[in-house]
Amino acid sequence: MDTMKRSTIIRLVIAIAISFLIVSALAVFFIRLSERFTGITDENDAEDVVRDLDGTEWMTDKEGKRTFERVFQMEAPQSLEIERIGRTSALFVFGDISTSVALDDGYLCGVLNGREFLVSVSQSHTGEGKAVSILSGEELIVFY
């Protein structure tokens, strides 16, 4: 009986340790995610971002498409095409639907099907890959 109690306690300690590691990893992920959306410091930064995005096309994965459909209540596009339309604004083309994105209070913002969203452009640590992320509420859609 004593061996059985010890075994149960060991399993419980292992389960708590694993849970702690998972929760810690999720916390670090969401902290880093929030740091990505710290905003643009000035109009020159926004102009550089919009200029870099001009004429680009981005794709998302299955999870991104499901999230897009859930957030915007419309069929997910195959791709996102971006065209510069002003100094700090761009046209985001999602298949047959497009919306403008512009600098507002330090963020690139837009509205699609009545839902507001923020835009962030991130680069991999190696500098080789880029992604355009769309944040609406607590939902994130990443285009590669």
Q: Is 115 exposed, middle or buried (0-12, 13-18, 19+ CB in 10 A)?
A: middle
Taking residues 2-17, what's their average pLDDT? 84
The answer to whether 56 and 81 are in contact (CB under 8 A) is yes
Give kind and range of the element (H or E) at residue 43: helix 43-53
User: Which two three-digit tokens encode residue 9?
Assistant: 């306690």
Instruction: Output phi, psi for 103, to 5 deg.
Output: -70, 125
pLDDT digits (tens, 9 = 90+) for 54-70: 999 999 999 999 999 99
- pLDDT for 34-48, tens place per residue? 555 545 657 888 899
Max mean pLDDT among 9-23, 34-48, 52-66, 127-141 falls in 52-66
Q: Please tell me what DSSP assigns to residue 76.
A: P
